[in-house]
């Protein structure tokens, strides 16, 4: 299995060559659905560890780092969990399709 960082040239040479040719979509066709993005999270109440789909998380972008956070409901104990979201977390969550609420104007 090739890693995501493998170059196209490496994938198209050797005994296990993989085609990089893509068939164009016809009118009305949609591209195949991508696998859902999952995020690892933990509950601060019950200490449970689990994976959540993007739809189970909410990202709130505040005017400062103190008011920027993500939240979810713990699937194990039902607690409402709120955690701070730094720049890298914001980048990952928005890139993974997590719904975002902006509390301030950029």
Q: Is 87 helix (H, G, I), strand (E, B) or coil?
A: helix
pLDDT of residue 4: 30
Query: Phi/psi at 19 (nearest 5 deg)?
Result: -70, 135
Radius of gyration of the chain, Cα coordinates, nearest whole angstrom: 19
Looking only at Cα atoms, what is the longest distance across the chain?
55
Residues 1-40: tens digit of each pLDDT:
332 332 233 333 333 333 344 555 566 666 666 678 899 9
What is the pTM assigned to this prediction? 0.65
Region of 47 (left: φ > 0; alpha: ψ -120 to 50; beta: rest) is: left
pLDDT of residue 59: 97
8 C-beta neighbours (distance < 10 Å), count? 9
């Amino acid at each position: 299995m090739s890693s995501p960082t493998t170059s196209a040239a490496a994938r198209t040479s050797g005994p296990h060559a993989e085609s990089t040719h893509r068939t164009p979509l016809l009118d009305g066709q949609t591209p195949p659905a991508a696998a859902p993005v999952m995020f690892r999270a933990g509950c601060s109440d019950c200490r449970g560890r689990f994976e959540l789909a993007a739809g189970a998380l909410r990202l709130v972008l505040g005017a400062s780092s103190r008011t920027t956070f993500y939240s979810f409901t713990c699937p194990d104990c039902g607690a409402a969990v709120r955690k701070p979201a730094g720049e890298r977390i914001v980048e990952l969550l928005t890139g993974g399709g997590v719904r975002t609420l902006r509390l301030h104007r950029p």
